[in-house]
Amino acid sequence: MDTNQDVAAIDSHRALQIWITENLKMLPLPERAHGNFFEECCYVILHVPQSPKAPRGGSGDLHYWIGKEASAESQGAAVTFLQRLREALGDGTVLHRESQGHESDCFHSYFRPGVIYRKGGQASALKHVETNMYNVQRLLHIRGRKHVSATEVALSWNSFNKGGIFLLDLGKVLIQWNGPKTCISEKSRALTLTCSLRDRERGGRAQIGVVDDEKKATDLMHIMEAVLGCSVCEKGTDLVVQELATRPLTQDLLQEEGCYLLDQGGFKIYMWQGRKSSPQDKKAAFNRAVGFIQAKGYPNYTNVEVVNEGAESTAFQQLFQMWSEERDGKKHKGKNKLMQAKPDMGKLHTQPELAAQLRMVDDGSGKVEVWCIQDLQRQPVDPRHHGQLCSGNCYLALYTYQKLGRVRYILYLWQGHQTTIEDTKALNLNAEELDLMYQGALVQEHVTMGREPPHFLAIFQGQLVVFQGCAGNRGKRPPTSSPRLFHVQGTDSHNTRTMEVQARASSLISSDIFFLVTAGVCYLWFGKSCSGDQRERARVVAAVFPGNDMETVLEGQEPPHFWEALGGRAPYPSNKRLPEVSGIQPRLFECSSPSGCLVLTEVVFFGQEDLDKYDVMLLDTCQEIFLWLGEAAGGWKEAVAWGHEYLRTHPAGRSLDTPIALVKQGYEPATFTGWFASWDPYKWTNNQSYEEVVEGSLRPGAAISEITAEVHNFQLTRRPSDNKAGPLTLPASRGSQDCLEKDLELGPSADGKDPSISRSTGSCCSSVANGSLPRERLMHQAVEDPPQGVDPARKEFYLSDSDFQDIFGKSKEEFYSMAKWKQQQEKKKLGFF
């Protein structure tokens, strides 16, 4: 194989390129065939992000996909091609080994609305690429929640189960059968895949029927029973595979001279390759991973991801307690420029990406209301005491602001470290009451003492002070008994907080500022390493402590009374290391709990289109957790608990005090939308539900009516291989093109519904009387004057079986299995055209 030819075949301007094995060679797959995978083939998929917000700095992802029936020769050809392609692309490319039915989230993210697994190999694949066939009879089992797949299964009721969704594909008719135990979101996603199959493979010229209730969709059930027979066997529901997490790891374990294998509990295997590791080690990565899988007894479909140093995926980075891009000690210019420069708060509304990075929806100048939870009820706090919170209480802070002329709300639920379980429950109940009062328009953000987000600090103008103990009546701060020590941290209004600490000398830090409140005087202590911005903010906070004489003290010049109030001198740190800001990219997950256990499905390279009204989605930005609630999503009350469960079980040992924000569909703040490449605030204005799509499309469908008439009026031919009673085979659906085209020409109905989707349908034209028509009424007749109920494009079908055999010299089944041009030729010669 010529490497240069391989490189020439790569189009750097295309995000996705796919090659398929054929005769031990790799051939490029046309774009219209993307998403279809034949089980006897192997594929190589190259994805190169085209977006300027691409989450990685590498060259992209290279996937090696193995069909479950692929031969060893096909696999060898694909691996050889993969290695040469990898060498041409460079070390920035991440390698993935994918097995049919067990692909990674990254792989699934390329194929929306889903992938289709098909029986057969090279010949089948090429045939699918070259033509759009209507002569089809197959059954697909549609699975998955966020990542949907359709697998071809046996054409029998035995393939069905009540917890599954199945698609009967008859060429011109696609019937989606929804099991009674399936949920609305599964039905909606399956219907999206069905519509996509119709549009891509049939050019939109096929009728879709949906069976939600077999008793109501009698016409569709008659068609299904004509093909599948009448008996249905119930089988068990599918199992859910759950990810297992490893213990927290440290990045310094990875040395650039070596190659390392990371076992994520048998769920996924990572092979990490240092930049100075040998070429032999790199080439052996897949073989070593497969050998490890076999030695551990893991399934042979276990996912493998090979990453090079400097091109690690976000999923890999988050398995470590902290990940730094600057291990070599070289600073990347401009990396933290956004955080170092003083941001322009006036641009937050027009630049959501800036709002997301700063975690600020605006400058905090909106309206603020605060309630303290006391005796399980919310008590309003005097505006003079806003921002003065107590560690033994819970608080609600409602912030009101305007964005693009619309009023928006954020409800902060603040919890002190010394609160009780009853207080926490009361906090959540009172938040629910407020949310009802505001008709569900509140963005709810759960905040833990000491981990307040920047915007929460900004709404109090940098004067947030947390006292130890419990608040007095109506949230009034506790009396200031002496002495009390307060630690001031921050340089501006959106990063300054003041926390009460133990009044001991060991609590001091040379790089920060402290207030020491005594009976007669309040000392403002400046550490020798503090900055001018810190001092300026501390003077603003000083207004919270009125009634005491304020005395400024510099480190090293303290009066004796200062040390006496702290119980004497004691060693204290000269500097406190600030937590490192993580450069890890955000990750989006779909949340579900099918058996009472949280299951997360990652959406890689996510966008707004991945947010569905039936979803609960978790967006992890490292510093904050967002839980997005679709307007039709169930279980939103458990969403916050899911956020805590995510943090508790995170393999990197995440802090349980990480802020958690609850965001409802249609009320997304800029701190959320800014993490998406683009955001359309009107996307869901006229969004139809699954029920509206189906119910609003009940209009006559030509293809369904035609097959229904065939089922009612003619004896269908048995399968030659089946001598038993039961399933029958429908003739290939070839006619009634005119009626279907007329529907397509009319376009969408006046209400904007899709005319090709229906649950059940009546006939679009009168059915022919029981039995068949004599040949004299069908042969050599004008097209514009056919007998009533006869499709003029398919007059030969209405002959009796004996007349058809006598005139055409073959059975109907043999005739309809011929190519269409041959059918037309014979019909012209015999007077049926």
Q: Output the CA–CA distances (angstroms, integers) from residue 445 to 81, 270, 432, 453, in the order listed.
A: 50, 35, 12, 10
What mean pLDDT is predicted for residues 236-256? 55
CA atoms within 13 A on the CB side of 611: 27
555 vs 698 pLDDT, higher one: 555
**Predicted confidence (pLDDT) per residue in 252-282, tens digit:** 778 888 888 888 777 788 888 888 888 887 8
* Whole-number Cα distances in Å, 9 to 3, 22, 88: 10, 16, 12
Q: Characterize the bridge pairing of strands 484-489 and 625-629.
A: unpaired
> Among candidates 415, 390, 374, which has minimal Cα distance to 470?
390
pLDDT at residue 747, rounded to an integer: 37
Residue 412 pLDDT: 95
**pLDDT (mean) for 364-368:** 93
- Residue 665 CA to residue 629 CA, distance in Å, equals 6
Give the bridge partners for 150, in sequence order. 116, 142
Contact call for residues 435 and 467 (beta carbons, < 8 A): no
Please indicate whether residue 487 or residue 762 has the higher confidence score (pLDDT). 487
315 contacts: CB under 8 Å, gap ≥ 6: 105, 106, 305, 587, 602
Please give the Cα distance from 56 to 308 (Å, whole number): 12
Q: Which residues contact 786 (CB under 8 A, 6 or more apart)?
A: 792, 795
498 pLDDT band (50/70/90 cuts)?
very high
Q: Give pLDDT, residue 285.
A: 81
The pLDDT assigned to 133 comes to 63
Q: Which run of H or of E encompasses 185?
A: helix 184-201
pLDDT band (50, 70, 90) for residue 8: very low
The Cα–Cα gap between 832 and 819 comes to 17
Q: Is 627 or 775 the better-scoring residue by pLDDT? A: 627
Instruction: Work out the mean pLDDT of the chain and round it to a whole number.
Output: 79
**Pairwise CA distance, residues 778 & 797, whole Å:** 10
End-to-end Cα, the chain, rounded Å: 52
pTM more than 0.75: no
* CB-CB neighbours of 654 under 10 Å: 18
- Give the separation between CA 102 and CA 264, rounded to whole angstroms: 15
User: Is the pLDDT reported for residue 316 higher than 90?
Assistant: no
- The one-character DSSP state at 718 is B
Give the model confidence (pLDDT) of 339-361 as tens digits.
444 556 666 666 777 778 788 88
Dihedral of the alpha carbons of 609, 610, 612, 614, in degrees to the nearest 10: 170
Q: What is the pLDDT of residue 386?
A: 92
Helix axes 218-228 and 702-713, enclosed angle (nearest 10):
60
pLDDT in tens, 164-204: 999 999 988 999 999 988 888 889 999 999 998 888 888 77
Are the beta carbons of 213 and 162 closer than 8 angstroms?
no
Strand partners, 166: 141, 177
d(CA 488, CA 516): 11
Residue 793: predicted pLDDT: 78
What's the residue count for the chain?
A: 833
Position 150 confidence tier, pLDDT thresholds 50, 70, 90: very high
Q: Quote the CA–CA distance of 738 and 504 in Å, as a whole number.
A: 90
Q: For residue 392, what pLDDT is reported?
A: 92
Range in 112-121, 148-157, 472-481, 761-770 with the lowest mean pLDDT: 761-770
* For residue 676, pLDDT beyond 70: yes
* Helical ranges in 341-415 per DSSP H: 352-358
Question: Which tokens go with 768?
Answer: 């022919």
* pLDDT band at residue 414 using 50, 70 and 90 as cut-offs: very high
Q: What is the DSSP annotation of 303-347?
A: EEEEEETT---HHHHTTBS---S-TTSPPPTTTTHHHHSPP-GGG
Sort strands 16-22 and 42-47 into parallel, antiparallel or unpaired: antiparallel
Of 109-118, 169-178, 203-212, 284-293, the range with the lowest mean pLDDT is 284-293
Residue 620 three-state SS: strand
Q: For residues 499-516, b (16+ Cβ closer than 10 Å) or e, as one string?
A: bbbebebebbbbbbbbbb
Which carries the bigger pLDDT value, residue 786 or residue 616? Answer: 616
pLDDT attached to residue 244 = 32
Helix (H, G, I), strand (E, B), or coil: what is residue 469?
A: coil
Per-residue pLDDT, averaged over 607-613, amounts to 87
Collapsing DSSP to helix, strand or coil, 697 comes out as coil
Q: Which range is most confident: 31-35, 330-334, 397-401, 642-646?
A: 397-401
Report DSSP letters for 624-691, one per residue.
-EEEEE-TT-S-GGGHHHHHHHHHHT-TT---TTS-EEEEETT---HHHHTTSS---TTTTTTPPPHH
Q: Give 687-722 pLDDT, tens digit per residue.
A: 677 777 776 654 546 667 667 666 665 444 444 444
Mean pLDDT of 670-674: 87
The residue among 335 and 320 whose pLDDT is bigger is: 320
- pLDDT tens-digit map of 35-89: 889 998 999 999 988 765 555 445 688 999 999 988 888 888 888 888 888 888 8
